[in-house]
């Protein structure tokens, strides 16, 4: 009888320890809904949940460049003409924003950093410079425990409003608002915000929606998409632009992803992007221009893909059509 009691007690203790280690009690006792509130409280980490793509490696390390020296020098010269600025200041006249910009990078947890000061804006320095082809990204707080922050009125912007960024030398670039989108803070389209494009864009990010006290952040992210206003050039100074093309005939057959080469001068290679859900893509391969236009993936049947063209100046085309359709 004593042995039965002993083993019963031991079994109960083991069961209690297992329940504790798996937080089952916390799940039972925390059945109430998270407390929510509107603007007015913001933790210093609440904007740090956007995880940018990995920093790009140099083009000559990603692809094997076999083009002749004359072609390389041509594209290097064109690239120098497009050097962007290191932004230090931003003005948004329509919502009375006049603020300093500081550089931010990627935190230890892989997410984008934000300024410590509520009245400053952060530029994602590992990404694209304003003025260059690609998506430049700026982030700022919407509010704090003491009141409104630098991007408090960002949701009041309208299509056509101007965003002006400048560097220490006073060089100014003007962007115009194209559209605004709000996304769940756990499900933002990272590739659309940070990823490749053949446009010269500036994307502004802040918090929006209600404040979730338990999570310590607002429940949505507001992204303002803007495009650079290019200065008009006299006709005699206009130059022929690079014919940026995405690959065609992208197909998935068995374990192979194939596409047709882009037959223009200056192609360094191609990047292959893969998605499990058809919405969020990540780069899985870089194929040099002289290599076979194919990529092998044993799990190809369960995923979708698109391919981009990368040029010698670092410009990347828009995505190809997704395969399989």
**Could you tell me which residues come within 8 angstroms of residue 15 by beta carbon, excluding any fewer than 6 positions away?**
none
DSSP reduced 3-state for 265: coil
State the DSSP code for 230: P
Nearest to 127, CA basis, from 200, 218, 48:
200
Parse the chain into domains and list their residue ranges.
Answer: 59-228, 243-311
Strands 121-124 and 134-139: antiparallel
Measured CA to CA, the distance from residue 325 to residue 170 in angstroms comes to: 48
Measured CA to CA, the distance from residue 68 to residue 133 in angstroms comes to: 24
CATH architecture of 243-311: Sandwich (2.60)
**Could you tell me which residues come within 8 angstroms of residue 150 by beta carbon, excluding any fewer than 6 positions away?**
97, 99, 118, 119, 120, 121, 140, 141
Q: Is the pTM of this model over 0.75?
A: no
pLDDT tens digits in sequence order for the chain, 325 residues long = 444 444 444 444 444 434 333 333 333 333 334 444 444 444 344 444 566 666 567 777 888 877 666 666 666 665 555 578 999 999 999 999 999 999 999 887 777 888 889 999 999 999 999 999 999 999 999 988 888 999 999 999 999 999 999 999 999 999 999 999 999 877 889 989 998 888 999 999 998 877 777 766 777 899 999 999 987 755 544 444 556 899 999 999 999 999 999 998 889 999 999 999 988 999 999 999 999 999 999 999 999 999 999 988 888 999 999 999 8
CB 246 within 8 A of CB 293: no
Tokens of 93: 């006249």
CATH fit for domain 59-228, picks 3.40.50.150, 3.30.930.10, 2.40.260.10, 3.60.70.12? 2.40.260.10
């Amino acid at each position: 009888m004593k042995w039965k009691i002993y083993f019963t007690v031991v079994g109960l203790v083991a069961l209690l320890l297992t329940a504790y280690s798996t937080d089952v009690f916390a799940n039972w006792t925390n059945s109430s809904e998270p407390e929510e509130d509107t603007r007015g409280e913001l933790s210093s980490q609440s904007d740090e949940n956007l995880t940018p793509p990995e920093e790009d490696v140099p083009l000559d390390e990603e692809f094997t460049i076999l083009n002749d020296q004359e072609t390389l020098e041509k594209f290097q010269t064109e690239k120098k003409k497009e050097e962007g600025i290191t932004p230090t200041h931003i003005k948004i006249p329509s919502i009375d924003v006049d603020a300093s910009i500081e550089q931010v990078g990627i935190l230890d947890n892989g997410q984008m950093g934000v300024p410590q000061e509520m009245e400053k804006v952060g530029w994602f320095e590992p990404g694209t410079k304003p003025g260059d082809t690609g998506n430049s990204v700026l982030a700022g707080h919407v509010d704090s425990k003491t009141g409104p922050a630098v991007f408090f009125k960002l949701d009041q912007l309208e299509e056509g409003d101007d965003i002006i960024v400048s560097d220490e030398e006073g060089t100014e670039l003007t962007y115009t608002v194209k559209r605004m989108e709000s996304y769940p803070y756990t499900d933002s389209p990272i590739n659309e915000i940070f990823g490749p494009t053949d446009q010269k864009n500036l994307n502004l990010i802040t918090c929006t929606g209600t404040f979730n006290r338990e999570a310590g952040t607002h429940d949505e992210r507001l992204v303002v998409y803007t495009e650079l206003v290019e200065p008009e050039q006299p006709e005699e100074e206009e130059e022929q632009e690079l014919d940026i093309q995405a690959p065609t005939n992208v197909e998935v057959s068995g374990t192979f992803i194939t596409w047709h080469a882009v037959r223009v001068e200056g192609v360094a290679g191609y990047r292959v992007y893969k998605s499990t859900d058809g919405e969020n893509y990540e780069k899985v391969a870089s194929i040099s221009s002289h290599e076979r236009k194919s990529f092998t993936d044993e799990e190809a049947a369960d995923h979708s893909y698109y391919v981009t063209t990368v040029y010698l100046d670092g410009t990347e085309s828009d995505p190809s059509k997704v395969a399989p359709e």
